[in-house]
């Protein structure tokens, strides 16, 4: 067999899974200008991250191996002839890669993944999927990646021809790659569990402070919030995937409460909320009545010196004690 030659990425190179559209929207100045939300959805789903192509020269079908350690005791494996597309690697992580053909191995190269946030996930036919983790907090700690994900439903989106359900490849990513243990379904509607995840929980929530008048501040909704955060407080439930239909409103409300509890700054929380605009649903902005009334209600219903303190006070009122909140932080922060 001829020598295996590695071509791309270059040794010590940096790769990025963020698309140009995602990068541009992240810093778009028009997002800072007060305006009314545009209810029209995008015609394309721009939440799908880019893939990186690994190129090599070798005879026949070979195995690309990617590992976090140079000894390759554990590694991801992909098959291909002279090129393989890869996605969903950890952001900010250094990796090693090599190619195996038959019994022969190539040299070992290393590369790093850019710390682009949010970390969009490539799940075929599921919109708006991203990792809550990767963010650094003011105290120096970080939110762990590969622990908790937010996104849309598995049945596909219902407009703009995005009606196809999750593919078999998508199911494999959830179960084998991300190893999702808990599906937390926030919808009141829906058929229930789409494919077998070990722990399926359906806990309907209302978004903001305005859905059905009081949103999550209604007594029955506060009880559901208590149940949701009890799931977050159990290590055995991780990794967790929580979703509604499009992954924007109900999912966005729970994501905000969780991120605020963990101590994420308001800028990043608003950015994470507005990133749903890259999906195939209508626009969500910090200037909408839904968002501003939510912030006002939180501040008056559960006073505190910061939004994080207000969130903790609200969760206390939902029946979640400080010990449980501390457990969630221990699980998700490092």
Tell me the range of 80-94, 148-162, 271-285 where mean pLDDT is highest.
80-94
**pLDDT-derived band at 315, boundaries 50, 70, 90:** very high
pLDDT surpasses 80 at 159: no
Match domain 1-116 to its CATH number in 2.60.40, 1.10.10, 2.40.10, 1.20.1070: 2.60.40
- Return residue ranges of the chain for CATH 3.90.190.10: 117-332
Question: Tell me, what's the pLDDT at 1?
Answer: 56
Q: How far is residue 160 CA from its own chain's centroid? A: 23
pLDDT surpasses 60 at 42: yes
Token digits for 36? Answer: 């009314």
Using DSSP, state whether 80 is helix, strand or coil. Answer: strand
CA distances from 196 to 156, 163, 182, 199, 302 (A): 17, 21, 10, 8, 38
Question: Tell me, what's the pLDDT at 161?
Answer: 46
Across 319-329, average pLDDT: 98
12 burial via Cβ count (<10 Å: 0-12, 13-18, 19+): exposed
Mean residue pLDDT of the chain comes to 94
pLDDT surpasses 50 at 160: no
Residue 110 host element (H or E): strand 109-113
Handedness of CA 153, 156, 158, 162 (dihedral sign): positive
**pTM for the full model?**
0.94
Over the stretch 217-248, which tens digit does the pLDDT of each residue have?
Answer: 999 999 999 999 999 999 999 999 999 999 99
- DSSP characters for 128-177? S-EES--PBPTTS-BBPSSSEEEE--TT--SSTT--PPPPHHHHHIIIII
- Return residue ranges of the chain for CATH 2.60.40: 1-116
Match domain 117-332 to its CATH number in 3.40.190.10, 3.90.190.10, 3.30.1540.10, 1.10.275.10: 3.90.190.10
Across 193-221, average pLDDT: 94
CA atoms in the 13 A half-sphere facing the CB of 126: 28
Across 149-169, average pLDDT: 77
pLDDT higher for 22 or 43? Answer: 22
How many angstroms separate the CA atoms of 312 and 302, rounded?
A: 8
The closest of 50, 48, 46 to 17, measured between CA atoms, is 50
The DSSP 8-state label assigned to residue 334 in this structure reads -
pLDDT higher for 280 or 179? Answer: 179
């Amino acid at each position: 067999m001829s020598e295996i030659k590695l071509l791309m990425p270059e040794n010590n190179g940096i790769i990025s899974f963020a698309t140009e559209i995602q990068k541009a929207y992240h810093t778009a100045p028009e997002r800072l200008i007060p305006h009314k939300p545009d209810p029209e959805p995008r015609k394309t789903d721009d939440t799908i991250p880019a893939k990186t192509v690994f190129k090599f020269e070798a005879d026949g079908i070979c195995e690309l191996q990617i590992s976090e350690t140079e000894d390759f005791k554990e590694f991801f494996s992909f098959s291909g002839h002279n090129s393989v597309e890869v996605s969903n690697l950890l952001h900010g992580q250094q990796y090693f890669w090599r190619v195996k053909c038959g019994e022969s191995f190539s040299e070992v190269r290393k590369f790093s993944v850019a710390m682009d946030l949010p970390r969009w996930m490539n799940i075929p036919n599921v919109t708006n999927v991203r990792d809550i983790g990767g963010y650094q907090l003011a105290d120096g700690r970080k939110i762990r990646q590969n622990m908790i994900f937010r996104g849309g439903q598995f049945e596909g989106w219902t407009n703009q021809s995005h009606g196809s359900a999750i593919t078999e490849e998508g199911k494999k990513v959830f179960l084998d790659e991300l190893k999702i243990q808990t599906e937390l379904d926030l919808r009141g509607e829906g058929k229930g569990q789409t494919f077998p995840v070990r722990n399926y929980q359906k806990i309907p929530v209302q978004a903001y402070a305005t859905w059905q008048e009081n949103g999550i501040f209604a007594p029955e909704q506060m009880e559901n919030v208590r149940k949701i955060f009890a799931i977050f407080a159990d290590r055995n439930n991780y990794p967790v995937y929580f979703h509604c239909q499009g992954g924007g409103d109900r999912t966005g409300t729970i994501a905000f409460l969780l991120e605020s509890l963990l101590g994420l700054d308001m800028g990043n929380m608003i950015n994470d909320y507005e990133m749903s605009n890259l999906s195939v649903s209508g626009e969500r902005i910090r200037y909408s009545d839904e968002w501003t009334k939510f912030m006002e209600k939180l501040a008056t219903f559960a006073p505190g010196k910061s939004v994080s303190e207000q969130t903790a006070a609200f969760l206390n009122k939902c029946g979640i004690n400080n010990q449980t909140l501390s457990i969630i932080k221990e699980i998700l922060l490092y």
